[in-house]
Amino acid sequence: MNELELVKRIGRWARPGAKRARELIEGIGDDAAVWRPRAGEDLVFTTDLFVEGVHFRRRGLTAEEAGRRAMGRSLSDLAAMGARPGFCLVSLGLARWADQEWVGGFFRGLIGMADRFGCALAGGDLSEARVVVCDVMACGAVKKGMALRRDGARVGDVIYVSGALGGWRRRGEIEPRIALGRKLVGKATAAMDLSDGLALDLYRLCAASGVEARLDRAPPLLEGATIEEALHAGEDYELVYTAPAGVRVPGHRVGEIVKGKAGRVTLMGRPLERHGYEHFESRGDSGSD
């Protein structure tokens, strides 16, 4: 199959979702996508690389799982900002081993995940490459000025996580917390998604907000997971967020924001080391499987 045929085929798979996206004026088939935002909304953009040997192994995931994972990572970033997904652009570098069947499975997984969250595949690019490399640029929308950010946590806020944690070894598929993120708009003071582990990500949130976090209990754990994994393994793609004590939000309360050293996080009185999943340092080629 040549590139033109492949693009045509991807366009056919993507069409149902694109048709439902009212703001998409022009998608796959033209030189570039045209998106007309609704009045009173801000657009939110994210891009996420998914690289063979870094984020996944060839035999560690099926093609469909790899597609869902590549898409889920970007959708999780939109969730963290409280955004409604709109469209995505997907660029894929294909290694020799990735045959037609794999590419088909990959796009089925990716488009299926995008469709579930109302995200239209609006275009992208294809190339040969030495390993499989996928970049998913996703765009969402949020009410003007209301995007959830990392820097809004205030002393006295309660800290929540959206679900059980345990890291990439324990977790099956990514379930982007889009619905929850949208519910938190106007309620949460700060939010982010947990890509690198609670210890490191909460440090980032606290550093951005200039506050300290006091965790007074362990986060809920995935079956078989250790606290160590929940804190440091990464790739849970749940949300961590803060809200004033009087504001009711869904989720699991794990602690509170206190006055102290910006970025410091303690768990039951013990300072947490902020190591987590950091690229180029820890895992090398042992990506998620």
Residues of this chain that interact with Mg ion (CB under 5 A) are 77, 193
CB of 6 to Mg ion, least distance (A): 30
> Exposed/middle/buried for 285, CB within 10 Å: 0-12, 13-18, 19+?
exposed
Question: Percentages helix, strand, coil for the chain, rounded to the nearest 5?
Answer: 25, 30, 45
CB of 171 to Mg ion, least distance (A): 16
Calculate the alpha carbon distances from 184 to 171, 226, 260 in Å. Answer: 24, 28, 26
C-beta closer to Mg ion: residue 77 or 115: 77
Distance CA 136, CA 8 (A): 19
Pairing of strands 34-35, 239-243: unpaired
CB of 108 to Mg ion, least distance (A): 25
3-class DSSP assignment, residue 14: helix
C-beta closer to Mg ion: residue 66 or 191: 191
C-beta closer to Mg ion: residue 65 or 193: 193
Q: Quick one: how far is CA 194 from the chain centroid?
A: 8
C-beta closer to Mg ion: residue 133 or 192: 192
Determine which helix (DSSP H) or strand (DSSP E) holds 173, and give its type and residue range. none
CB of 77 to Mg ion, least distance (A): 4
Calculate the alpha carbon distances from 183 to 116, 214, 248, 280 in Å. Answer: 18, 25, 11, 35
C-beta closer to Mg ion: residue 189 or 195: 195
C-beta closer to Mg ion: residue 77 or 229: 77
For the record, the structure tokens of 113 come out as 């995940």
CB of 100 to Mg ion, least distance (A): 33
CB of 201 to Mg ion, least distance (A): 8
For the record, the structure tokens of 173 come out as 């598929």
